[in-house]
A and B are shown apart, each in its own frame.
Chain A
Amino acid sequence: MFNRIVILQSVVSGLLMGGIYALLGVGFSLTWGVMKVINIAHAAFGILAAYIAYWGLTLYGIDPMLSLILTVPLFFCSGLIIYRFLIQPITRARDIVVASMILTFGLAIILENAMLFAWQPDERLITTSYSTKAIFLGEIIIKVSSLVGFVLSILGISAIYFFLHRTHIGKAVRATWQEPEGAALQGINLGKVSMITFGLALASSGAGGVTMAYMYSFNPPAHNLWLIFLFLVVIVGGVGSVVGSAAAGLIIGLIIGLSGAFFPQQWINVILFGLLMGILLVKPEGLFKT
């Protein structure tokens, strides 16, 4: 049963899945690293984006990829607004990590229940014209929709990477991540940088949500499970690191894929959480941060 094909197939589909976790996780990691804000509502925003894509497709026949043109700027702007009116008031709290977790948990409750109220708890699945198609590489099957999601993730992560490394504002964001006080002394406006980071994080959660929706069915409460994947990505990849998040996403996808080949389905999450606990205990700063 455990022949070469099965393993190869699990590796490939695991990696495809992992790319998507990475895109969803990178924004979460950024806000955590740069602003010390743990955004519990991150995955809920992803679900919201998935719903926008779903309704665009079902009602107007708009391809989910095209819906990103609307979703990403919209989420960026709402990120700016949320930062200004919700996050900024708590930045002076004694323990911003805790305060932000509770605040965004409240936000997640509101989002989840607003979505439940508007769209019922039914499981939704994005079915495009190409979701039943697949590419055959020898004996390995690659679903076109997974491939599309994966490519989108790579594009999204690259965009964030180039923003952080090539633009002036992006460099300011990284400087703030490394040493907030030093950055402030160099004339970097921390409030502005945090605002942009939060906008960027939400934009990436929107993109990540849509790509997730390519592979999984979703309903409003699903954000709790997605959140666990976010934590996994951040803990494995190291807080605030884009490259770390990308690598962590791929590794996690690989582990899920491979354990799917060897263990019964219901134990996979136990393995994942056990792994997460193990990594936390041995190397809490993440595997990729020096």
Chain B
Amino acid sequence: MRSKRSLLLVGFLCVLALLPLIRPPAYFLSFLFKMFLFIILAESWNLVGGFTGYLSFGHVAFFGIGAYTSAMLFQLAGLSPFLGALPAGLMASAVAFLIGYPCLRLKGPYFAVVTLCFAFVMDLTVKNWAFLGGAEGIHLKLVPLDIQVSRSIFYEIFLGLALVTVLSVRHVQHSKFGMGLTSIREDEDVAQTLCIRTAGLKVKAFVLSAFFPGVAGGIYAYYISYIHPDIVFDINVSILIVLMALFGGGSSWLGPLIGAGFLSVINEFLSMFIKPEIARMIYGALFMAVIIFMPDGVVAYVRKWAFRPEGASAASSSGEGEAQTGERPC
């Protein structure tokens, strides 16, 4: 049963990886690319926000820092952004360490506000700093390839990165480190009395959760070839990833994956068929519905109904999301 399921998963991944070979429309690849991006962001956010319960509303800042780092490396040193992505991730982690060390002492909404402010400060600082292009942004040279090919390359890279992120978060969740993080969410004071070094764990999780967005940002800069503070430090993205992760459910690695995937698809469909304002209103209503009816996220809700002892799975009724949620975290 289990091997069958993992075989299915591997097969699904292979299909995804081989998808560019059949030359689907570039639009479709771009859409999946964006979906992978949100999966990376939401999943890495979950390391801190979901596991420890410290809501970081400024995670987009790490994405932006990564984008700017690799863009500057490209501009000044001519380093290819595919290589520059690593220093970009390290840079984001370093900033996360500096910010996280003092800020993670704050609890609940205060931490949320301070991270939100951090994202704003980064945005405004970059806008006013001529060295980083200021409010003009930075133009990067386009990849000297046919659009279909270049889209395929970026698609593959982000597919791989998303996979690595999801697997790392899953690994963390089942490790001792992850259990320490969960204990912080459940009750930090009690965790401390049990000799869990919560301060160190929090910073470690924060630094790790900044790394993946940094790498993604480094590559994304090259993908859009023009970076501007409004794009890479967009506060709405920051909030969106929080919502995506919590939509799916923050307590496991599966939640953000489902949340980001499902909401990306919904968003795309809605904005294709109806006016964007109405689409976003439906989007907002969706969040409200989830928080009222499924406070622990879609995944936990589905699991609760689908795996009841009586097997009364007919009660689950919330859309396409569950086709994948059926599988337990293995």
Genuine A/B complex: yes
CA distance A235 to B124 in the complex (A): 21
Contact A114 to B281, CB < 8 A, known contacts A97-B108, A280-B106, A284-B110: yes
Contact across chains for B288 and A103 when beta carbons are under 8 A apart:
yes
B176 at the interface (CB under 8 A from A): no
Chain A residue at minimal CB-CB distance from B247: A102
- 8 Å CB interface, A253-290 against B: 266-267, 269-270, 273-274, 276-277, 280-281, 284
Contact across chains for A273 and B288 when beta carbons are under 8 A apart:
no
Partner of B287 from A102, A113, A116, A277 at Cβ < 8 Å: A102
Mark each residue of chain B from 134 to 147: 1 if its CB lies under 8 Å from any CB of chain A, else 0. 00000000000000
B197 at the interface (CB under 8 A from A): no
- 8 Å CB interface, A120-137 against B: none
Contact A110 to B291, CB < 8 A, known contacts A97-B109, A281-B103: no
Contact across chains for A113 and B55 when beta carbons are under 8 A apart:
no
Contact A114 to B121, CB < 8 A, known contacts A99-B291, A101-B112, A103-B288: no
Contact A117 to B275, CB < 8 A, known contacts A94-B295, A102-B246, A103-B288: yes
Contact across chains for A228 and B277 when beta carbons are under 8 A apart:
no
CA distance A12 to B127 in the complex (A): 29
CA distance A207 to B181 in the complex (A): 43
Which residues from chain A contact B225 at a C-beta distance below 8 Å? none
Interface-located stretch among A55-63, A85-93, A175-183, A244-252: A85-93
Which residues from chain B contact A231 at a C-beta distance below 8 Å? 113, 116-117
Partner of B284 from A99, A110, A270 at Cβ < 8 Å: A110
The A contact surface, by secondary structure, is helix
CA distance A103 to B286 in the complex (A): 10
B16 at the interface (CB under 8 A from A): no
**Shortest distance in angstroms between A2's beta carbon and chain B's nearest beta carbon?**
22
A95 at the interface (CB under 8 A from B): yes
Contact A113 to B112, CB < 8 A, known contacts A102-B246, A106-B285, A270-B128: no
A109 at the interface (CB under 8 A from B): yes
Size range of the interface on A? 35 or more
Contact across chains for B281 and A280 when beta carbons are under 8 A apart:
no
B74 at the interface (CB under 8 A from A): no
Contact across chains for B109 and A38 when beta carbons are under 8 A apart:
yes
Mark each residue of chain B from 263 to 304: 1 if its CB lies under 8 Å from any CB of chain A, else 0. 000000000000111101101111110011001000000000
Contact A109 to B125, CB < 8 A, known contacts A97-B108, A114-B277: no
CA distance A20 to B273 in the complex (A): 41
A52 at the interface (CB under 8 A from B): no
Which residues from chain A contact B105 at a C-beta distance below 8 Å? 281
Contact across chains for B284 and A109 when beta carbons are under 8 A apart:
yes
Contact across chains for B114 and A106 when beta carbons are under 8 A apart:
no
Which residues from chain A contact B55 at a C-beta distance below 8 Å? 98, 101
Contact A86 to B292, CB < 8 A, known contacts A107-B284, A273-B121, A284-B106: yes
**Shortest distance in angstroms between A266's beta carbon and chain B's nearest beta carbon?**
5
B255 at the interface (CB under 8 A from A): no
**Shortest distance in angstroms between B317's beta carbon and chain A's nearest beta carbon?**
19
CA distance A38 to B210 in the complex (A): 26
Which residues from chain B contact A266 at a C-beta distance below 8 Å? 124, 127-128
13 pairs of residues in contact across A and B, judged by CB atoms under 8 Å: A103-B288, A109-B281, A110-B288, A113-B277, A117-B278, A228-B117, A231-B116, A266-B124, A266-B127, A276-B113, A280-B110, A280-B117, A284-B110
